[in-house]
Amino acid sequence: MSFIEQNKERADRGRRWGVESICQVLCEQGIAIAPATYYAAKSRTPSTRAVRDEQLKPVIAEVHEQNYGVYGARKMQAALRREKGIEIGRDQTARLMRELDIKGVRRGKPKPTTSPTRPRRVRTTWSSVSSNAKRPDQLWVVDLTYIRTELPPPARRDPTRPTRREGSRLLRSTTGTHRGRFPMNPASTEPRAVQ
């Protein structure tokens, strides 16, 4: 609608564009809009939402300024309820703040992602290198990218230290316990109760 409104009085080579010709060109470009739709939108009264939005915008700007311009949508909604007694939703508050180009202050420091001032390292293009080859099989290119294809190799074991399994066997044989419950009688293999 705004495009038609801006260009309907425009003239080119002495001919005025007009609403009908603009709608015809838009239809040819795949944007179907009839002239009657334009005229109906022009004569239509503003909606209740649009009227209320226009009433709330100056109030939001005022409350934002009173609170040093630090409130975001959630705190702005709470401040409007508390200070002005206005019932408004958080999403509506956020939408109106976007339309007014009002933002809250964020805590913390922004994390830099890129540094455009740092010069980039220029990589060699293989097309310039390969042009030096005078015959086939004279220049070879190798990609040395490491790609892990299987599990990493096992860590080396210290031969002087027993493994976990060997350590538990060693512990059982020296303490005489069988699975840590009963001490074994060295004379027999039967477990005896601990007193």
Give the tens place of pLDDT for each residue, 6-36. Answer: 877 777 777 778 888 888 888 888 888 888 9
Classify residue 160: in a domain, yes or no.
Answer: no
Same domain, 58 and 94: yes
Q: What is the spatial distance between Cα 165 and Cα 4, in angstroms, rounded to a whole number?
A: 84
Which residue range is the domain that position 35 belongs to?
A: 2-43
Of 100, 135, 168, the residue that ends a domain is 100
Q: Per-residue DSSP letters for 87-102?
A: ---HHHHHHHHHHHT-
Does this model's pTM top 0.75? Answer: no
Domain count within the chain:
2
Report the candidate in 41, 66, 52 with the shortest Cα–Cα distance to residue 96. 52
pLDDT tens-digit map of 51-94: 999 999 999 999 999 999 999 999 999 999 999 999 999 999 99
Classify residue 29: in a domain, yes or no.
Answer: yes
Is residue 116 scored above 70 in pLDDT?
Answer: no
Q: How big is the CA angle at 85 (ends 106 and 63), to the nearest 5 degrees?
A: 35
Structure tokens at 162: 């027993």
